[in-house]
Structures are given as C-alpha cells and as structure tokens.
C-alpha cells in the first residue's frame, strides 16, 4: 500500500481509542501488525489530564505518547471531533508540531448523529492544509464529485466511509464504493469507519480498495488481540482474492462437473 510515496506491507490501519488498558492495546497492535496507528490530538493530548498545557504534555499525555512510540508503528494524527474548517486546520497544525509528521487524517464533521463528513468544509480544509505542505488523508463519503474536488485540492489519498463511525454496519453503499473505486483507479483509497466484522474488511478489499481503517470493532471486542488478528487475516484474504480475479456473479446455475460423456440411461 502506497501513501504519499511511503510503501507499507500491511493494508490494515488501527485507531487507539476505547481500549480497556494500554496492555490490551499493545497486544492488539502486535497481533495485527498494522501499517499505521491513528491518534487523535484532541482526545489523547488535549483533553482532561492528558492536556497539552503551557509546559507541553501532561503526565497522562506523556504516558500515552510513550505507549504509541513503543508500538513501533508509523503515526497518522487525525482531527477527530472537529466541526469546522478553522478547528480542523488548527488541530492539524498542532498535530504536525506534536507528532513530527506531515501526514494528517482530516475529519470535518457536519452532522452530529451520523458523524457524516461536511464535504464542503472538508474540501476547503484539505486545500488549505495541502498548500501548507500537509499530506492529507480526508475522511469522506463515496460521493464522486467530492472525491474529484478533494483530488483537485491536493489530496492523493481518499478515505471513504463504509458506514457511520462506530455503527458496525459494514459497507452501506456497495454500489457507490465500487463506482468510486472504478472512477479513480490510480488513487490510493482506504475504507474508513463502520466496519464491524472481519468479513466487512474482506468485502472492502475484494472491491479493490487499498486498505481499511477501523477502531471500535477491535477495541470493543471481548478479545481485542484475537479480533485484531482476525481483521488482519481478512484484509490479506480480501486483497489476495481481488488480485487473483474474483468470478462474476451469475443469475443461473453453471455445473462445475462436465456433462459431456456422461452415461445416458434409457
């Protein structure tokens, strides 16, 4: 998987929220071997005791940052929870200073119940950040027009949702996702959000997407490490199936055993 010129052997990306403990988080990441770990600056380093004050990281923030570094996985900061262009841009700028990377998963949320992206604000923020040298991975929908505008704004990766964040509904609009993939065959695309089962990840990969990003399905499992491994295997299987060439669906049955030469009983 290629992301802004960086090549990753894994096609799975994991978030860091909602794990029961640091030890369980570490075990899940070890089991999955993900390409990237997403970190929310707002949640992990700006909220509560984890806040970045005038003196930098608080103690909780330092502990979390040490945990992330110990995972030995590339970091993808995100602007989770941002509801305006100004807020998202400011959060991205802070993330670049804190984490020392120009990669940013850009979220501009437009609707509170579904957490659907604000596509107008997303395009605007992506243009601002791309002009500042950020390598933007926008969390978007399967909308073709929005995808075109994001690419024009300077994005080289797109992250369409499978379903609303945390919903575990899988791929809500397979037709839309397939159309998006077909319209932009050379663009790296990662299905982000709404995946609840390993089969959902495999289905995304079978459509030809380059990777998947998830969090809740692993962090909220009874055994996060086992679930992380299951998703890693599903991603690998789905990609292998896509590359091998999936057979087309048929309306009628087709026998797998040749009928020529069979005995005919009178």
Please identify every residue annotated as catalytic.
105
Known binder of ligand: residue 56? no
Neighbouring CB atoms inside 10 A of 105's CB total 26
Task: Work out whether strand 74-78 and strand 36-40 pair parallel, antiparallel, or are unpaired.
Answer: parallel
Is 194 flagged in the annotation as binding? Answer: yes
CA distance 197 to 13: 15
What is the sign of the dihedral through the CA atoms of 63, 67, 72 and 74? negative
Q: What are the strands, taking DSSP E only, across 118-249?
A: 135-140, 157-160, 188-192, 211-214
Q: Is 193 annotated as a binding residue?
A: yes
28 is in an annotated binding site: no
Q: How many other C-beta atoms are found inside a 10 Å radius of the C-beta of residue 146?
A: 20
Please, which residues have CB within 8 angstroms of residue 75's CB and are 6 or more apart in sequence?
36, 37, 39, 68, 99, 101, 103
Annotated binding-site residue? 45: no
User: What is residue 6's three-state secondary structure?
Assistant: strand
From CA 93, how far away is CA 78, in angstroms rounded?
Answer: 11
| Residues contributing to the annotated binding site | 166, 193-194, 215-216
| Residues contributing to the annotated binding site for 1-deoxy-D-xylulose 5-phosphate | 166, 193-194, 215-216
């Amino acid at each position: 998987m290629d992301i802004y010129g960086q090549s990753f052997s894994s096609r799975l990306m994991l978030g860091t929220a909602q794990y029961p403990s640091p030890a369980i988080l570490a075990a899940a990441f070890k089991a999955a071997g993900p390409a990237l770990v997403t970190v929310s600056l707002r949640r992990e380093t700006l909220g509560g005791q984890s806040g970045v004050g005038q003196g930098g990281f608080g103690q909780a923030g330092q502990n979390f940052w040490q945990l992330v570094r110990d995972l030995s996985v590339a970091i993808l900061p995100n602007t989770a929870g941002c509801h305006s262009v100004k807020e998202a841009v400011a959060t991205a700028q802070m993330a670049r200073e804190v984490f020392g990377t120009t990669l940013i998963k850009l979220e501009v949320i437009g609707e509170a119940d579904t957490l659907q992206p604000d596509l107008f604000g997303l395009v605007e923020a992506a243009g601002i950040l791309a002009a500042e040298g950020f390598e933007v991975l926008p969390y978007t929908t399967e909308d073709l027009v929005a995808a075109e505008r994001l690419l024009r704004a300077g994005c080289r990766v797109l992250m369409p949702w499978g379903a609303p964040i945390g919903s575990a509904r899988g791929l809500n609009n397979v037709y839309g996702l397939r159309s998006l993939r077909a319209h932009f065959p050379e663009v790296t695309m990662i299905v982000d959000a709404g995946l609840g089962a390993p089969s959902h990840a495999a289905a995304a990969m079978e459509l030809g997407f380059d990777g998947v990003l998830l969090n809740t399905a692993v962090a909220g499992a009874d055994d996060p490490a086992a679930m992380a491994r299951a998703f890693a295997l599903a991603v690998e299987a789905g990609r292998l199936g896509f590359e091998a060439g999936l057979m087309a669906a048929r309306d009628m049955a087709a026998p797998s055993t040749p009928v020529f030469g069979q005995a005919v009983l009178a």
